Amino acid sequence: MAKMKGATVVNIERCKGCNLCVVACPLHVLALTTKNVNQKGYNYAQTVLEDTCTGCTSCAVVCPDGCITVYRKKEE
Amino acid sequence: MDIKEIIQPENMVYHKPDLLNDVPMHYCPGCSHGVVHKLVSEIVAEMGMNEKTVGVSPVGCAVFAYKYIDIDWEEAAHGRAPAVATAIKRLWPDRLVFTYQGDGDLACIGTAESIHALNRGENITIIFINNAIYGMTGGQMAPTTLMGMKTATCPYGRDAKLHGYPLKITELAANLEGTCYVTRQSVHTVGAINKTKKALRKAFENSMQGKGSSLVEIVSTCNSGWKMSPEKANKWMEENMFPYYQLGDLKDTTNQ
């Protein structure tokens, strides 16, 4: 079966750092920043395990603010 | 594969619904309202009703819903959303009309309007966000507050002798003749969100097909009102809310 590769793009300024995407990701691809904050002062979500993402969209579905865009492509 | 190869418009599988405006939502981080807003936006777009949907927003945290979802909105006085929705739907039968209410709005201040609109079988959908607390005003006790639960106005926990029992208004609605679809869902996991989306879609379709009133209760969290982190609030909801407010369809006469 062809492997799926995914990528997530977080709208940093919209993110409120609620951590729900981090909990929802089955592969621990996302994590909140520990030092950096956005303009509102929140630690935002970022992709930490880029290669692991399969583009399952779990993180984006649970995001209450619709900050995450997910891309998915078949690995050739 | 390079990440830039994946991030191409043709590979996009999920993005913020188009009907959801870019303006940042005022909800607290992790609030369930955002997820329900997204679902409503998605369903309205999927049904092709962008120009033909009227939402009635309540008084409560969702009072600014008209800023966030790009459809027509009407603001109702506290609790009176079902009465306003009744008028809109009767005057404009080809419109998809729904109300979006919290537990303080629907189960307390607007109990009469809600019960009677549901009993009359108005062809509207009522989305009922139940987080067991008055969220916007700072976490006071609501009729749906659980027994023993501490809030700003019952700091020693809800006591039946003093405050009465939590109101299961959805069970009440299921006993009314006018309702065709009454369900209780939640939005704390991906699976639950998908189920809620199906339920909302069904409710919207019922109202367009003139089958009667639909009530979709969504058991939600109010993490700032409950004074917990969003994750912890989800867990608390599973442990404490779900045993009392059991998820599932309570009434469905649409297939008969």
CA dist B176 and B216 (Å) reads 15
Torsions phi, psi for B28 (to 5 deg): -65, 155
CB contacts of A5 in chain B (<8 Å) are 1, 6
Output the pLDDT for position B88.
97
Domain extent at residue B174:
31-252
What is the reported pTM? 0.95
CA dist B88 and B98 (Å) reads 10
CB contacts of B20 in chain A (<8 Å) are 66
Residue B16 falls within a domain, yes or no? no
Q: What is the pLDDT of residues A1-12, one digit of tens each?
A: 678 899 999 999
Q: Which residues of A touch B (CB under 8 A)?
A: 5-7, 9, 11, 13-14, 16-20, 23-24, 42, 50, 55, 57-58, 60-73, 75
- The model's confidence at residue A75, banded by pLDDT at 50, 70 and 90, is confident
The domain limits of chain A are: 4-74
**Contacts (Cβ under 8 Å, ≥6 apart) of B197:** B39, B42, B43
> In terms of CA atoms, which chain A residue is nearest residue B8?
A71
Torsion sign across C-alpha atoms B70, B76, B77, B79: negative
Output the pLDDT for position A1.
63
Contact criterion met (CB below 8 Å) for B54 and B103: no
Interface pTM (ipTM) of the complex? Answer: 0.94
The secondary element (H helix, E strand) that includes residue A7 is strand A4-10
**Contacts (Cβ under 8 Å, ≥6 apart) of B183:** B199, B203, B215, B216, B217, B248, B249, B250, B251, B252
CA dist B192 and B197 (Å) reads 9
Nearest CB partner across the interface for B24, out of A14, A50, A63 = A14
Residue B10 falls within a domain, yes or no? no
Contact criterion met (CB below 8 Å) for B115 and B172: yes
- The model's confidence at residue A61, banded by pLDDT at 50, 70 and 90, is very high
Pick the CATH number of A4-74 from 3.40.50.920, 3.30.70.20, 2.60.40.10, 3.40.50.620: 3.30.70.20
Q: What is the pLDDT of residues A12-31, one digit of tens each?
A: 999 999 999 999 999 999 99
Torsion sign across C-alpha atoms B142, B145, B147, B148: negative
Domain at B170, CATH number:
3.40.50.970
Residue B15 falls within a domain, yes or no? no
Residue B191 falls within a domain, yes or no? yes
Interface with chain B: mutation pick from A48, A61, A69, A75, highest number of B CBs within 10 Å: A61
Q: How many domains does chain B have?
A: 1
Residue B150 falls within a domain, yes or no? yes
Output the pLDDT for position A50.
87
Residue B233 falls within a domain, yes or no? yes
- Cβ-count burial of A28 within 10 angstroms (0-12 exposed, 13-18 middle, 19+ buried)? exposed
**Across the interface, do B34 and A65 touch by the CB < 8 Å criterion?**
yes
Q: Which residues of B touch A (CB under 8 A)?
A: 1, 3, 5-8, 11-17, 20, 24-25, 27-35, 38, 189-190, 193-194, 229-231, 234
Output the pLDDT for position B80.
95
Contact criterion met (CB below 8 Å) for B59 and B78: yes
Positions of chain B with pLDDT lower than 50, given as ranges: none
Mean pLDDT of chain A: 93
